[in-house]
Amino acid sequence: MDDRQIIELYWAREESAVSETERKYGPYCRSVAVNILGSAQDAEECVSDAWLGAWNSIPPQRPASLRAYLGRLVRNAALSLCRRSRAQKRGGGMEVLLSELGDCAGSRPSPEEEFDAGRLGEDISRWLRGLDGAKRRLFLRRYWLGESVGELARECRCTPNALAVRLRRLRLELKDFLEQEGYAL
Amino acid sequence: MNTQQLYRGVTEIDDALIEEALESPHQKRRRIRPFAMGAACLALISGVFFALRGGPTADPLPSSGEIYVMPRWEDMPLYRQYGQIDWDGADYYAACPVDAGAVGALLGGGTATGHDLYEDRDYSTVCAVYALSGISPAAAVAVQYEGHDGFYTCRAEDYSSGTLGELIDDLGLEQNLTFGLVYYDGAYQDPGRALSYRLPDPAAAWDLLLGDRALKNEGSGHYTASLMGFSVTVEVLGIHNLSLSVNGEGYLQTNLISTGASYHIGEEKVRAFLDYVFTHGEVVEWPQIAGGGSWEPEPVPETEQGASAPSRPPAAPE
């Protein structure tokens, strides 16, 4: 079933919308969740939350890319789960990801009423478009899809240390960009 | 900006860039194949999901062990076959059968179309379009397909109300709205509070939520993560277990209509609604979710600061 048809099921409040979503995107969403959380059990809870999020938000939403939309729900659910301490207690991948992102962020949060995740996403997107394709995909696969350094290194045919150095350079480039854009780090 | 806020920003990266990363040669090789089934056979994984989401009083769906078969064209009810209605320049979709007693005056003739997924073929027929008693045709109508006796509610795809009063009147909510359970989405960050409540007199919450009819509909732009809300039903419109909720920004929001709607009732009324539910509501226990862990709220760790992570959709329809 194509994405348009699945979205129409949500709009028609057909309960098969969730099973169709699970069928088409379940493995992908679990993969993202496991990458980020490092635990199959946490990933299952995360994906369940994402299905709930999809059911509650479509309508009124009509995503242009259902796959990206679901991935976003999974990422948000993973962060919620982490905040409830479950993933931290089990030593999930979220801690490592956040630790790496610490290179391009500060320790103090911006006031929530001033923080605009959407605008930040647009700015980071603009930065990514200025990179060559290989760097762009590397950043996204590590920090959006949560793929491990070891796995990425195998596919890039380099050592994990060499890949870690490349990722760190990317993070520092992002930090420079964000500072130029006026973000308080 | 801290790391969690940066993570949230990364989450909002443009769809096209995400698609590019997902379509990279290495990702294609890695993609896990879904469980191989026939084109029309699905495991009803959502059965348990919906039995739980609808609350303990919902009729249970088939268990996750059963197979759900996508119906063939000839096996579908009439209104599912010809589910798209074109009348008076607007698009409607057929929602449910409706009793003839709810049908009003004849409005005119329309065209009904449908698509056979198996044969990849379109079908078309004509229909008579009627008003629904107490409901604006701009929001929903009843149709009778040529050569058949029954009537079916069809909801407008692009209906939007200007004010809260218009929403109430156009959908006939004073007569047709049924309140279900109240869900407290803030339970995770609020130790000691339950996820769901039943109000002995839910209509008492009407004034708090729906009393100011002059409020303007601000669309789906303020449609953010719900803080607390009712699961509501409007039977005549085929609406079941949709949401009438409040968010932390002082908005009443609902997906009763396809376009989404939000009305600024103010943070004071939001707080009053929460207090009313906590004071008068009966706690309804949720069953354990299979494989995922309990719904029992856990305290936010001391080191965590800032607002809860957004489980919100993107800010605007894409």
Strand partners, B130: B106, B142
Question: With 80 as the cut, is the pLDDT of residue B287 above it?
Answer: no
Residue A91 lies in a domain: no
Per-residue tokens: B188: 């995770």
The sign of the dihedral angle between the CA atoms of B291, B294, B297, B298 is negative
Our count of domains for chain A comes to 2
Contact B95 A57 (CB under 8 A): no
Task: For chain A, say whether B84 makes contact (Cβ under 8 Å).
Answer: no
Asked if A104 and A130 sit in the same domain, the reply is yes
Range of the structural domain that residue A164 is part of: 98-180
Q: CA nearest B231 in A: which residue? A: A56
Domain boundary among A86, A116, A146: A86
pLDDT per position as a tens digit, A72-114: 999 999 988 887 754 455 545 788 888 888 889 887 888 887 7
Contact B313 A23 (CB under 8 A): no
B261 closest CA partner among B227, B219, B225, B316: B219
pLDDT per position as a tens digit, B3-49: 889 999 999 999 999 988 887 655 554 443 333 333 333 333 434 44
CA distance A36 to B308: 18
The three-point CA angle B89-B94-B95 to 5° equals 135
Task: For chain A, say whether B282 makes contact (Cβ under 8 Å).
Answer: no
Per-residue tokens: B198: 């039943």
Q: Exposure pattern of A85-106 as b/e (b: 16+ CB <10 Å)? A: ebbbeeebbbeebbebbebbbb
Per-residue tokens: B33: 């194949």
Task: For chain A, say whether B22 makes contact (Cβ under 8 Å).
Answer: yes
C-alpha pair distances (Å), A96 with each of A37, A92, A137, B101, B138:
10, 8, 19, 62, 53
Which has more pLDDT, B213 or A83? B213
Query: What global pTM score does this model have?
Result: 0.49
Residue A57 lies in a domain: yes
Per-residue tokens: B62: 């088939």
**A-chain residues near B305 (CB < 8 A):** 109
Task: Specify the CATH number for the domain of residue A59.
Answer: 1.10.1740.10
> Which of A25-29, B68-72, B83-87, B285-289 is predicted least confidently?
B285-289
The sign of the dihedral angle between the CA atoms of B165, B169, B175, B179 is negative
Band (B225; pLDDT cuts 50, 70, 90): confident
**CATH level 3 topology of B74-158:** 2.170.150
Strands B226-234 and B177-184: antiparallel
Task: For chain B, say whether A158 makes contact (Cβ under 8 Å).
Answer: no
- Phi–psi pair at B143, nearest 5 degrees: -125, 155
- Does ipTM come in above 0.90? yes
Each domain of chain B, given as residue ranges in start order, spans 1-70, 74-158, 164-285
- Residues of chain A with confidence (pLDDT) below 50: 86-87, 91
Domain boundary among A22, A54, A86: A86
Task: For chain B, say whether A171 makes contact (Cβ under 8 Å).
Answer: no
**A-chain residues near B32 (CB < 8 A):** 27-28, 31
Contact B19 A16 (CB under 8 A): no
DSSP string, A142-182: HHTS---HHHHHHHHTS-HHHHHHHHHHHHHHHHHHHHHTT
Calculate helix-pair angle for A160-180, A93-101, nearest 10 degrees.
Answer: 50
Domain boundary among A59, A86, A113: A86
Band (B260; pLDDT cuts 50, 70, 90): confident
Q: Where are the alpha helices (DSSP H) in A103-143?
A: 117-129, 133-143
Residue A167 lies in a domain: yes
Task: For chain B, say whether A71 makes contact (Cβ under 8 Å).
Answer: yes
Residue A63 lies in a domain: yes
Residue A185 lies in a domain: no
Task: For chain A, say whether B292 makes contact (Cβ under 8 Å).
Answer: yes
Asked if A137 and A171 sit in the same domain, the reply is yes
With a CB-CB cutoff of 8 Å, which residues 227-256 of chain B face chain A?
A: 238-240, 242-243, 255
Asked if A13 and A80 sit in the same domain, the reply is yes
Residue B254 C-beta-side C-alpha neighbours within 13 Å: 28
**Mean pLDDT, residues B278-304 taken together:** 56
Residue A173 lies in a domain: yes
How many beta-carbon contacts under 8 Å exist across A and B? 250
